[in-house]
Every structure is written in structure tokens, then in C-alpha cells.
Amino acid sequence: MTTARSTDGAFEYSGEVEPYGNFSMSPAAHVLHYGSAIFEGMKAHRQVDGSLAIFRLDDHVARMRQSAAKLRLPVPDAELVRRMIIDACEANVSEVPDPPGSLYVRPTLIGTEPNIGAAATPSKEALLYIVNCPVGDYFKGGVRPLTLLVEDSIPRTTPQFGMVKSGANYAMALAPTLDAMAANEAIDQILFATGGDVTETGAANFFMTDDDRLVTRNLDASFLHGVTRSSIITLAAEVEERAISVEELVVWADHGEAFLSGTAAVVSPVGTLLIDGEQVQLAGGAGPDSNSMRLRQALADIQTGHAPDPYGWRTPVKG
């Protein structure tokens, strides 16, 4: 792991990679009381030539800096975060499994100022650290059509905060997700569609597709601006970015496909929607020839060096 601390807004990084281990911090640390925690999630992929490359490193660094600013945490320089991520990956090159496995990279930034009276004060002291671990498929049972519960009453988080990758957003989504899964073990994810407006699931963005079109929700502050989402939009010739209603989704299911996109989900086809107790099947299917699976392959080929990298998305890591 790599770590850097800030006492007055400026981060100090020794340049040394340390063994993975515990931290010590004050019981009054800001993060433990007022939730000043943000993070990122990206992957380094083993390339076809045996080397290692991080996928869209700069985009993840940019989103992390944006999240830090939203929580009024000290914002680390992009070059520093970049260096710390590359150093941490270099130190773990031998741990990276072959595709479809990869090295998951988790940069984290927390407010460490010891002040229990700081509810309305930002933390000037902060700890930035990068850990990583080998990963395989995110969903139990590998790539298979997922079942989503469409939730139209409870939002995932507060609307102005959905675009921030902060621990608090995941804490808020946890109870409704666990309750839904306890009631029906077939549910893989909740698709949040407050008031009928389809946004994202607890860990991925949402797309509809068929042989002619790709449709996904237009960006606003209410949901996470996925790097995978943006990659798919770049790869596809044309994408409609606009509101999607639950009613439209039901009609779409008669002929089309749907999928989730994310660093963990990659592109994961959706097979079934549960809407108000009714099961709605996606008639477009999720087989190897589906549009969803073809997009998954196109993305994976760039990530793993099987296809050229015209957009400069791969950052090489020395072995």
C-alpha cells in the first residue's frame, strides 16, 4: 500500500510502498463521526503481452478529486494520486491474475482531524492511501442474466450527492438492499428509479440497448458518473443520454436488452426486472451474440490489450 498524510491541506508522500497493515488514528477523527470518507475503484489488467496496464487511471483520479472537493476534504494533486496508484500497482504486479481476473485498486481519502466538535467544520487533516487486491467476477455465478428489483420509492442517496463516491452513499443504500434481498434471494441489485425516474443500481450504471440504439440516463448530480458508462458511450456510435421512465423500460423489455456497467460489473446483462411484484423478462436476451455481450467483449479487449487503445485509456505499469 502507499500512504500520504496532510496536516494543513498539503499531502506528504515518502515514495515508499509499505506492507498492507492497520492504521492508528484518534477516536475523535472526523471520519469516524462525520463520515468524511471518499474512495475510488479501478482495475489494472494483465495485457496480452504479459505486461500490466491500469484502465482509465486519469479519469478515476479526476473523479476522486471531485469527490474530495464535494466533502470539503483537502484535494490531493492529480500527479500525486497518480504516482501513488502506479507505485502500489507496481509493487503487486506478481499478484495479478490473468483475465477475466484483474487487480482491483482502491484509493481512499479520509478526514483524520481529531475534533469531535467539528460537525460543521471540514477536516484539514487527512489520510490518503491506496490498497489493491486480486479479483475475479463480481456477481455470484459469473456472467449470467441478472435480476434487478426496481425501487421507485426510496432513493439511493440524497439527490445532490449521488455523483460523489463517498462511503455515506453506500451506507444509505445498504438497508433497503439487504431488506430486498432477504425478501427475495433471486435479487442481484436494486435499480433505483425514484418517482419512476431510472438512475442506477447500488454499484453500477444502467443501459437499455437493442439492434439500433443505446439509451442511458443523462448525467446530473443524482447518480455516479461511471467511467465504464463513459467508455461505452465513446465506443458506441450513437447513444441517447436522456431520462428513462419505468413505463418505458417495461415497454422496452418486450423486444430489447438491458445491462449494468461498472468497474466491477464490466457489462453485465439483465435478464429479469421485478416491478411492483411483477416479473418482467428482457426479451432481447443475454446470450453470447447479444448486443450487451458484444459490448462487454469490445471493452474487455481494450482493457486487456487485445485491441488497440485509440483513446489512451491504458496506463502501463512496470513489472
Q: Which residues are catalytic?
A: 165
DSSP codes of every residue in 105-157 = EEEEEEE--B-TT-TTS--S-EEEEEEEEEE--SSTTSS--EEEEEE-SS-SS
CB of 285 to ligand PLP, least distance (A): 23
Instruction: Please give the angle made by the CA atoms of 39, 107 and 47, to the nearest 5 degrees.
Output: 125
Binding mask 247-266 for ligand PLP (x = CB under 6 A): --------------xxx---
Q: Residues binding ligand PLP: what is the number (CB under 6 A)?
A: 14
Cα dihedral 310, 313, 317, 319, rounded to 10, equals -50
- Give the bridge partners for 151, in sequence order: 192
Helices (H), the chain: 30-34, 57-70, 78-90, 167-183, 227-235, 246-253, 291-303
The interface region with ligand PLP, picked from 1-9, 110-118, 135-143, 226-234 by CB under 6 A, is 226-234
Q: Which is nearer to ligand PLP, 226 or 305 (CB)?
A: 226
Task: Give kind and range of the element (H or E) at residue 207.
Answer: strand 205-209
> Could you give the CA distance from residue 76 to residue 73 in angstroms, rounded to a whole number?
9
Is residue 159 involved in binding ligand PLP (CB under 6 A)? no
Among 229, 249, 270, 295, binds ligand PLP (CB under 6 A): 229
- DSSP bridge partners of 273: 148, 280
* Binder of ligand PLP out of 155, 226, 256, 284 (CB under 6 A): 226
The 49-88 contact track toward ligand PLP, x by CB under 6 A, reads ----------------------------------------
Name the residue nearer to ligand PLP (CB basis): 224 or 282: 224
For ligand PLP, give the closer residue by CB, 28 or 236: 236
285 binds ligand PLP (CB under 6 A): no
Give the type of residue at 311.
Y
Grid coordinates belonging to 191: 435499480
Q: How many CB atoms lie within 10 A of CB 56?
A: 23
**Amino acid making up residue 17:** V
Report in angstroms how near the CB of residue 211 gets to ligand PLP at its nearest. Answer: 24
Of 92, 112, 123, 228, which one interacts with ligand PLP (CB under 6 A)?
A: 228
Span of 210-218, 227-235, 279-287, 303-311 interacting with ligand PLP by CB under 6 A: 227-235
Q: Is the peptide bond before 288 cis (omega within 30 degrees of 0)?
A: no
The stretches of 133-286 forming alpha helices (DSSP H) are: 167-183, 227-235, 246-253
- Please pick, from the candidates 25, 28, 32, 41, the single residue that binds ligand PLP as defined by CB under 6 A: 41
172-201 binders of ligand PLP (CB under 6 A): 200
Least gap, CB of 220 to ligand PLP (angstroms)? 13
Residue 224 as a binder of ligand PLP (CB under 6 A): the answer is: yes
Closer to ligand PLP at the Cβ: 36 or 228?
A: 228
Provide the minimum distance between the beta carbon of 13 and ligand PLP in the complex, in angstroms, as a whole number.
Answer: 24
From CA 159, how far away is CA 59, in angstroms rounded? 23
Q: Which residues are at the interface with ligand PLP (CB under 6 A)?
A: 41, 200, 202-205, 224, 226-229, 261-263
